[in-house]
Amino acid sequence: MDKVMIVTGGSRGIGAATCLMAAKYGYAVAVNFRSNRDAAEAVVTAIEKDGGRAIAVEADVSDEDDVVRLFNSVDEHLGPVTVLVNNAGIVDQPSKVADMSGQRISRMMAVNVVGPFLCAREAIKRMSTDQGGQGGAIINISSAASHGGGGGGAGTYVDYGASKGAIDTLTEGLAREVAAEGIRVNAVRPGVVDTEIHASGGLPDKPTDAKAHIPLGIVGQPEDIAEAVMYLAEARFTTGAFLDVDGGV
């Protein structure tokens, strides 16, 4: 069976590092992106340059029709997905809950929670041994913020933390639901990783500022999270697990 991985939000940061590493493990890779086609195509080019197979697929994971199209496109060009990495996610500017708009909260949950649910649904349809599939793995990218109140201190990202708490619950519940169908479901919970998301969330200096509070004394890199993802992709006796990759926080 060909190994096919879909990485949502695969054009930058943790997603891009995961795509590149997966190709080295022999996966054909679908690099999902929402708006930055050039970045996604650059990842595809890098994979193909090393002899791998990859495609870039535009889709907003919060849009049900887009998610269905994403998986159908992968079926057509690479074959049925065997590993789904639910990586796409957003953060907003620091804000107290009292000041958050309904639009902000709804968008946060649509991308960070509804998106992974929709993608998991489509993956299960293709992986489940009950539906003619050959099994597979779903890896959710959660966050240390899921059990830390938001990850940016008081009055910052409670909505983001809540969305990742939902991902933890999805991971644990879905792992039990589909284990007998040959599907493993696990999560990686990154700590502070040096990616662009901090700038988009209004705290561009967060990696530098956090370093002093990380027991290992270093800030995570996207490749550190990609390594954890690849372990869970191959760990055949592991499901319902949370792998904290946070430098010991």
pLDDT in tens, 179-234: 999 999 999 999 999 876 645 545 556 566 677 889 999 999 999 999 999 999 99
- One digit per residue, the tens of pLDDT, for the chain of length 249 reads 699 999 999 999 999 999 999 999 999 999 999 999 999 999 999 999 999 999 999 999 999 999 999 999 999 999 999 999 999 999 999 999 999 999 999 999 999 999 999 999 999 999 999 999 999 999 999 999 998 776 656 678 899 999 999 999 999 999 999 999 999 999 999 999 987 664 554 555 656 667 788 999 999 999 999 999 999 999 999 999 999 999 998
DSSP tag of 212: G
What are the backbone dihedrals phi and psi of residue 142, each rounded to the nearest 5 degrees, phi first?
Answer: -90, -140
pLDDT value of position 155: 74
* Torsions phi, psi for 87 (to 5 deg): -105, -30
In sequence order, what are the residues at sequence separation of 6 or more whose Cβ sits closer than 8 angstroms to the Cβ of residue 226? 14, 17, 18, 20, 21, 22
Helices (H), 78-182: 102-109, 115-127, 158-178
Q: Note the pLDDT of residue 249.
A: 86
Dihedral sign, Cα of residue 187, residue 192, residue 193, residue 197? positive
Helix (H) or strand (E) holding 244: strand 242-245
Q: Amino acid identity, residue 117?
A: F
pLDDT attached to residue 198: 45
Kind and range of the H or E run holding 164: helix 158-178
Q: What Rg value do the Cα atoms of the chain yield, rounded?
A: 17
CATH homologous superfamily of 4-245: NAD(P)-binding Rossmann-like Domain (3.40.50.720)
Q: Known catalytic residue: 25?
A: no
Express each pLDDT in 23-32 by its tens digit.
999 999 999 9
Q: Which of 25, 27, 157, 160 is catalytic?
A: 160
Is 116 within 8 Å of 61 (Cβ atoms)?
Answer: yes
The dihedral built from the CA positions of residue 182, 126, 28 and 22, taken in this order, carries a sign that is: negative
Domain boundaries, the chain: 4-245
- In angstroms, the CA 102 to CA 51 distance is 46
Question: What is the DSSP-derived secondary structure letter of residue 123?
Answer: H
